[in-house]
Chains A and B, each alone.
Chain A
């Protein structure tokens, strides 16, 4: 299995009135062909900025890629010119955004908005593009697509608009589909339908997916691997099983403990993580999560934790994995699910020293 995408040490900042917002602070991950990676984290953790940087969609200025590489099919997207990126956007990488209500042009027919991509990248004539648009609408489960192509977005419901967005993103059979919180703005029942649709489409087309969400609950269903983001960094990354049954970072514990579906029988324990994420114009010294971390140690306020590798696929950046750290018990809700995974190394090993 080859790597489709490899992001290396990506740093993105925004220049604002209040100073430089370090939205993404050294993010590295990879994605195999046909695989689904979920990126999870509270709002403001830098998920959207990361994904939009891959597409080079962040506005510059105020945004700036300060460092890092984005290797897509072996080519570094950071170095591409705008003209070169136009050939990649929509053709090799498709993207779906959070709010289907605002993501479609209100004064252009939905069909036309799909046809635009097809005509741009496949150079099909108008009539053929329209045929294809109808076919795509059918693929994403919109009834009566022949009629729907000629309608405007306001004639579509929220869920249908998101389906139309998916059709746009899939129009040129991209190798990678980035879905930035595609279900957050939708009703719960519609959410499930859209998730099903995305899984279904992946089966049919074999596209790789980066699935961004702030809700761990939906992840188990769709993803192969999970990356947990906090304050512009990936704090833990592993397969779905590793994140759900053997989480190591206290932030992941917090997210798992506040997941309603996990312990629906035991509502009393359901607690969101107290406090709020740090201000990224002045990221705190040490571990950014330390002030909200009930397990924090003195070192957490002094030095950034190193990155530990727990298995071939499982990484976590927390001082709790240091051999000198005291053994701590994760919260009840998490502890109950813990399993011994046979793939783990005997000892976590440091793969990146603390700075």
Chain B
């Protein structure tokens, strides 16, 4: 297990290193960017930039200093706003985004798994078809369209939910649903096919031969095994929710990190884009690692196989 985790950690660091390096050198090459001579910024920002990036130093010193800053969790100043750093933005926006993300993660997993199980247990019956039509719709609609439509009908036309902003739990429902729609559809499909596969396994026949009822077989033997691929999907799922949040937060006027990121893209606030990207990458890689470790605990085969090697 230990060895497994350290190996994963190593890959994670290498991926992270790659993305930090790529963003750094792309930024250096960006015309009109922080490193270019023809950039047009107020002197105050110029000063901040110089302090953080050491603009007059050779590139390898700049690069090395940048790596050190990132390691110290310092993502640098904004390219557009005086007195604002990327860390400020993260501290302010991320808690909001985190809450929204967790809420939609919960919705996506619980409803998705439930739909998938119902569909598999009623394979080729109407419940199956209904759940799968729902799921195919879910993965066919881009999130910004889904969000706009939900907002238009449920909030503006019907008035069931607040249209926008981030004030009460009520305000979170619609954005969380919009954000959860696509991952939920993916999970439903994944659970269904995994459940169908599990139900065809020999050990299900064994359970039946023991005289267990369909309900007992489903609960005790099928679901636990069918859920394993869903757990491995949690890594990509967090990436989906994260990138989805850019769009959703923008549409619903939520002051999260996602909408700040989109604003910085529109403003070409290069240093903010760079810093937030690195932060997001760390976040995603960490969640993938967490999922991997969690999987090791859920699947006894991995835990022990890794354990023997690890000691």
Is A in direct contact with B (CB under 8 Å) within the complex?
yes
Residues of A bordering B, CB below 8 Å: 55, 57, 82-83, 85-91, 94-95, 97, 99, 102-108, 113, 116-117, 120-121, 152, 154-155, 165, 168-169
Which residue of A97, A107, A121, A152 is within 8 Å of B206 (Cβ)? Answer: A97
B254-291 residues with Cβ-Cβ distance < 8 A to A are none
User: Which residue in chain B gives the minimum CB-CB distance to A86?
Assistant: B211
- Complex CA gap A103/B204 in Å reads 8
Give the residue among A57, A99, A107 with the most B Cβ atoms within 10 A: A107
User: Which residue in chain A gives the minimum CB-CB distance to B302?
Assistant: A154
A104 — which chain B residues lie within 8 A by C-beta? 203, 206
Which residue of B212, B221, B300 is within 8 Å of A86 (Cβ)? Answer: B212
Extra A-B contacts (12), CB below 8 Å, given A55-B209, A107-B301, A108-B220:
A57-B209, A86-B212, A87-B211, A89-B209, A90-B209, A91-B211, A94-B209, A104-B206, A105-B207, A106-B203, A117-B210, A120-B216
How far apart are B148's CB and chain A's nearest CB, in angstroms? 43
Mask: chain B, 200-230; 1 = CB below 8 Å from A; 0 = not: 0111011111111110100011001100100
| B211 & A120 in contact (Cβ 8 Å cutoff) | yes
B92 — which chain A residues lie within 8 A by C-beta? none
| Contact size range, B | 20 to 34
Q: List 20 A-B contacts (CB under 8 A).
A: A55-B209, A83-B213, A86-B213, A88-B211, A90-B209, A90-B210, A90-B211, A97-B202, A97-B206, A104-B203, A105-B203, A105-B221, A106-B301, A107-B228, A107-B299, A108-B220, A108-B221, A116-B210, A154-B305, A165-B206
- Complex CA gap A121/B214 in Å reads 16
Which residue of A87, A88, A95, A105 is within 8 Å of B225 (Cβ)? Answer: A105
Which residue of A97, A116, A120, A152 is within 8 Å of B301 (Cβ)? Answer: A152
Mask: chain B, 149-191; 1 = CB below 8 Å from A; 0 = not: 0000000000000000000000000000000000000000000
A105 — which chain B residues lie within 8 A by C-beta? 203, 206-207, 221, 225
- Complex CA gap A313/B212 in Å reads 37
Residues of B bordering A, CB below 8 Å: 201-203, 205-214, 216, 220-221, 224-225, 228, 299-301, 304-305
B208 — which chain A residues lie within 8 A by C-beta? 57, 89
Which residue of A57, A85, A88, A154 is within 8 Å of B205 (Cβ)? Answer: A57
- Complex CA gap A57/B212 in Å reads 12
Given A55-B209, A108-B221, are A102 and B300 also a contact pair (CB < 8 Å)?
no
Q: Which 10 A-B pairs have the closest CB atoms?
A: A90-B211, A90-B210, A89-B211, A102-B202, A105-B203, A95-B209, A152-B300, A117-B210, A103-B202, A86-B211
| B212 & A116 in contact (Cβ 8 Å cutoff) | yes
A165 — which chain B residues lie within 8 A by C-beta? 206
User: Which residue in chain A gives the minimum CB-CB distance to B222?
Assistant: A105
How far apart are B208's CB and chain A's nearest CB, in angstroms? 6
| A102 & B301 in contact (Cβ 8 Å cutoff) | no
| A99 & B202 in contact (Cβ 8 Å cutoff) | yes
| A154 & B300 in contact (Cβ 8 Å cutoff) | yes
- Complex CA gap A87/B213 in Å reads 10
- Complex CA gap A120/B209 in Å reads 12
A90 — which chain B residues lie within 8 A by C-beta? 209-212
Which residue of A97, A103, A120 is within 8 Å of B212 (Cβ)? Answer: A120
| A117 & B211 in contact (Cβ 8 Å cutoff) | yes
How far apart are B162's CB and chain A's nearest CB, in angstroms? 44
- Complex CA gap A87/B210 in Å reads 9
| B220 & A155 in contact (Cβ 8 Å cutoff) | no
| A121 & B211 in contact (Cβ 8 Å cutoff) | yes
User: Which residue in chain A gives the minimum CB-CB distance to B211?
Assistant: A90
- Complex CA gap A99/B203 in Å reads 10
- Complex CA gap A90/B210 in Å reads 4
How far apart are A25's CB and chain B's nearest CB, in angstroms? 23
How far apart are B204's CB and chain A's nearest CB, in angstroms? 8
- Complex CA gap A83/B216 in Å reads 13
A121 — which chain B residues lie within 8 A by C-beta? 211
How far apart are B212's CB and chain A's nearest CB, in angstroms? 6
- Complex CA gap A108/B221 in Å reads 8
